[in-house]
Amino acid sequence: MKWVSPVIVAVCFLVSTVGTSAHHSYAGFSDHEVSVEGTLEKMMFANPHVTLTIRDKDSAVYTAVWVAAFTLENRGMKPTELKVGDVLVVRGTPARDPAVHDIARLEEVRRVGDGWRWLRNDNGRGPTIVSSR
């Protein structure tokens, strides 16, 4: 009976790590960063990830996959902070397939009009929001 407990713990650990690695697979994304500037057409402020739909000056539509909504809220961002029509610059890693306009692992989201920005890692302090006000 003493062996049952370690076996159960090992099985639970293995099962829990499978879901985590599957959720954050970035195999379809490049290792280099790009910046895209465009107009925000849609924002889905929901978990597991906030998504931004951005149209650039050439009318290409990009989907930028951001962090979780609760992560942004914990840093003081409100769901109404960014609005449709805002001109944004997003910096992250693009899809390996150039026909797919997805960007993941965002490092920065910046609103051009007033300087508001979110940084993934602000000089080692972790995610921060720099308010324009």
Average pLDDT over residues 27-36: 85
Check residues 131 and 40 and name the one with the higher pLDDT: 40
Nearest to 98 by CA among 60, 67, 68: 60
Tens digit of each residue's pLDDT (9 = 90 or more) over 62-100:
999 999 999 999 888 899 999 999 999 999 999 989 899
Contact 91, 33 (CB under 8 A): yes
- Minimum mean pLDDT range among 36-40, 58-62, 89-93, 126-130: 126-130
pLDDT given at position 131? 74
CATH architecture of 35-130: Beta Barrel (2.40)
